[in-house]
Structure 1
Amino acid sequence: MKNRGYEDSVHVYGRLWMFFALLMMLMIPASICLYYDAWPTFSSVFKGLMGVAPIFWTVAVIEVVTFTPMLGSGGAYLGFVTGNLTNLKVPCALYAMENAKVKQGSLEGEIISTIAIAVSSIVTTLIIALGILMLAPLTPVLQSDLLKPAFDNILPALFGGLAVVYVGKNWKIALTPLLFMITLFIMIPSLASSVSVLVSIGVVIAIGTARILYKKGKL
């Protein structure tokens, strides 16, 4: 019963925060239009949406279906409001749950996931604020040829470290989607810009592989 009360409160506050976050996002362009008394026509808005909305809506649905079971309700609400799930929030949550030795989908896992995403959001905000203040003096250093290889390999290093842990624990399941994705990206390198869409395909392949191995008694 206590768990139920916690889950209900998470959904109530999560929906409220998502509503107000969406309202604030829409208020920025609305305020600009009001200030300059310049409103775009419906046809212009529709043309702009048709260029980007199908991609973003598809990715949004895929990320909700894929990441919510990993992060739990609280982590999902907080993660989707603050953004940057694939690159930052999901790795932070998974690593925190791994260190705390709690299972995804459990009450403990959800609490740890929410705390990890909250801390990640606060740290990200502080780093961005510091970066804005230090942008001018640090620009020559950050754009130097010496540091360029490091910045080009931040994401591979981050996900490589996570992959070693999870592939090592479930290599029988991970091997098939891993080989499939490696082959796919080698054959069609341009798909590197569609990683978010391909996450769901990898999940389906992993689930199918796990079921086949389970049926054969190899898990």
Structure 2
Amino acid sequence: MEAIKKNNESVQVISEAKAMDKFHQQAHLWGRIPIWVVMLVSITMPLYLSFVVGYHPGWQPIIAGFLAYAAIMALGWALEPVLYFPTLGISGTYLAFLTGNISNMCLPSAAAAQHAIGAEPGTRKGEITATLAMGAASLVNIAILIPIIFTGSYLLSILPESVYSLFEYVLPAIFGAIVGQFAMRRPLFGAIGIAIAIVVAVFAPPALQNIFVPLIATIAICVWIDSKVSSKEAS
């Protein structure tokens, strides 16, 4: 009976792996198509204004603007997919980079859903959970954005100044909730991340004052501490 049980378990694991492989194949297909479409649509209007209507500003300001923006964001272009992939997975990465709002919508919704059902990032369960959570968050976001797009200016005009000034705290509150959620699991790592973020925000030059520098530093230090603890336990 024990052998039959183990055999059934191995068969189930193999079938799950095959199903996940098929899911990833579909994710690659349907993830790439809309992203390419969005990229083409995004450059259509600038090309139309530049070469059809005749509003091309010249290559010098375009190149200068690109280089100025790249100086700030180039690190993010390289690191964002790598840093977010363990939490989002293959399908979640496609969805997140298609919908945007990764740091203030996709990642928090994925992390909250994984935490709610006990799914570990980097697992099959974690990837499916993240994808479903971001899909739901995107639908809710669209449902809220559509009326706001048409009535947003009016709503903002009637809001008191005291309420309007509170909007600048929304994004820090989201990041604070994420830090608190994960810091409860590993308080030491949470304290290290907060300390590094404060040091970067206060002492680092402006070029390094972005989210990726404290992210990389925190990951490196926490991995080093974890390896030291593991080696001590092993010895």
Normalised-by-shorter TM-score class: 0.7 to 0.9
- Give the deviation of 1:180 after TM superposition: 2.4
Aligned to 1:130: 147
Aligned to 1:180: 196
Kindly indicate whether residue 187 of structure 2 is the aligned counterpart of residue 195 of structure 1.
no
Aligned to 1:205: 221
Structure 2 regions of 5+ residues with no counterpart?
1-17
C-alpha distance in 1, partners of 2:213/2:40?
A: 27
Aligned to 1:156: 172
Q: Which amino acid aligns with 1:51?
A: A
Aligned to 2:129: 112
TM-score normalised to structure 1 length: 0.86
Q: Which amino acid aligns with 1:45?
A: I
- Give the deviation of 1:170 after TM superposition: 1.1
- Give the deviation of 1:151 after TM superposition: 1.7
Kindly indicate whether residue 100 of structure 2 is the aligned counterpart of residue 83 of structure 1.
yes
Q: Is the 8 A contact 2:49 2:56 kept in 1?
A: no
Aligned to 2:89: 72
C-alpha distance in 2, partners of 1:35/1:65?
A: 39
- Give the deviation of 1:190 after TM superposition: 5.5
Q: Is the 8 A contact 2:114 2:120 kept in 1?
A: yes
Give the alignment's Cα RMSD to 1 decimal.
Answer: 2.4
Q: Is the 8 A contact 2:90 2:127 kept in 1?
A: yes
Structure 1 regions of 5+ residues with no counterpart?
none
**Cα distance 1:48–1:186, how it changes in 2: closer, same or farther (>3 A)?**
closer
**Cα distance 1:128–1:35, how it changes in 2: closer, same or farther (>3 A)?**
farther
Q: Secondary structure at the match of 1:184?
A: helix
Q: Is the 8 A contact 1:173 1:209 kept in 2?
A: no
- Give the deviation of 1:192 after TM superposition: 9.0
